[in-house]
Amino acid sequence: MLKNILCCALVAVVCTGCVSVHTGDLKVAGKPECKKSAQMLRHVVLFRFKEGTSPEKIKEVESAFTSLPGKIDAIKCFEWGTNVSPEDRAEGFTHCFLLSFQSEADRDAYLIHPDHKGFAKTLGGNIDKVLVIDYRPQ
């Protein structure tokens, strides 16, 4: 239980320090279909890159992740950003991605989708740690 509370606290600290970056015609938080809804399932992904990962490789990972909403219909909302929190509690996590799905079934379809699996290959051993948490807004 304490571990779950700590994970939720870490996600809250890191994500409140994120700057949202949106591209193209993506559906993003703040639009009517993405407002807080108990029916939407939120999927938070945090990355801590390995020390020495090149800026070019990080940009490649960002580009690959941000292309997923255009390829996977199950993603209803998407936003991402990098940590800008002054609290120094991110524990090395620099990137926060927030995806929203209509249901667990949509999330599960995303997890096994070929484009998601292809994205995972772009990480190429450059990620030191990934933290993933799913929740329903309260």
Walk me through the domains of the chain, giving residue ranges and CATH numbers: 2-135 (3.30.70.100)
35 pLDDT tier (thresholds 50, 70, 90): low
pLDDT over 80 at 121, yes or no: yes
Instruction: Tell me the C-alpha to C-alpha distance, in Å, between residue 72 and each of 7, 24, 38, 132.
Output: 27, 15, 22, 19
Pair type for strands 127-135 and 95-101? unpaired
- Residue 65 has what pLDDT? 98
pTM over 0.95: no
pLDDT over 60 at 23, yes or no: no
